[in-house]
Amino acid sequence: MSKPRFFYTHKKGILLIIIILIAIILMSPNLQRRPRYYLIERPIVFIISAVQSGITSTKEGISSIWNGYINLVRAQEENKRLKKEIDALKTENSSYKEMVYSFERMQALLSFKEAAPFKTISARIIGKDASNLFKTFTINRGEKDGIKKDMVAISPEGIVGRVVRTSGRSSLVLLSIDRNSEIAAIIQRTRDEGIVEGKGSGLTHLKYIPILSDIKAGDVIITSGLDGIYPKGINIGKVISVKRGDAALFLEIDVMPDTDFARLEEVLVIIN
């Protein structure tokens, strides 16, 4: 067998041996003292460094992505926890505000009750007429609390209405703005007397005031006490418009009630 044929047949194995020998030589501690190997060392070291750099970069990239994912999960969990805490604080704050508002209303009602010249009992509004056919409130006081028909309900602002039906623990109050409500009234400034009648809306109508009356917008209307139901001197409302007809005997007068029925939550019932 000739030498050229031997090398040709075993060229792969020989090439592998040569590469291994070169690698061993490059790893030798004395390599730096042998500058003649520099030309061989440089490209091989470059290749090895590139491969190591790629592996390191990939590892760091994967580690960075994983750490980012972990941080994102933790941030989402923290956001959920904070949101729950914020919702709880909002609920607590809302409850606190409601307690403050309720306390302020009850304080005003108590002050008015102590200053009123008649005996009263406080009541909470627990229902309103949903049909809108009648202007009524249901209160949480009834016969067992001493409430009777035709007793008058008032607020710190003025007249609310009168009791028209009672049961053991609740009563129905007909509001002054209902069409079936009539209250004997007097104009505080001019002393003209008339009847305040509900219009079924947020207003009332003052009837039977003579055409020659000096009544004007802004005048205060109070109860006269002549109907035997409503005590004298309780505020009803203020005049907002006065119309004089050509052939009419009486003025057409609209009165805005002092009581804000839409926001009313508690009342006092006069029981003596």
DSSP 211: T
Set out the domains of the chain in order of their start, with CATH numbers. Answer: 3-57 (no CATH), 120-272 (2.40.10.340)
CB 147 within 8 A of CB 157: no
In sequence order, the 6+-apart residues with CB closer than 8 A to the CB of 123 are 139, 140, 141, 145, 147, 153, 171, 266, 267, 268, 269
pLDDT tens-digit map of 194-215:
999 999 888 999 999 999 999 9
The whole model's pTM is what? Answer: 0.63
**256 half-sphere exposure, CB direction, 13 A CA radius:** 8
The string of pLDDT tens digits covering residues 53-105 is 655 666 566 767 777 777 777 777 877 777 877 777 777 667 767 677 666 77
Separation between Cα atoms, residue 145 and residue 170, nearest integer Å: 9
Q: What is the pLDDT of residues 34-62, one digit of tens each?
A: 554 445 555 555 555 554 565 566 656 67
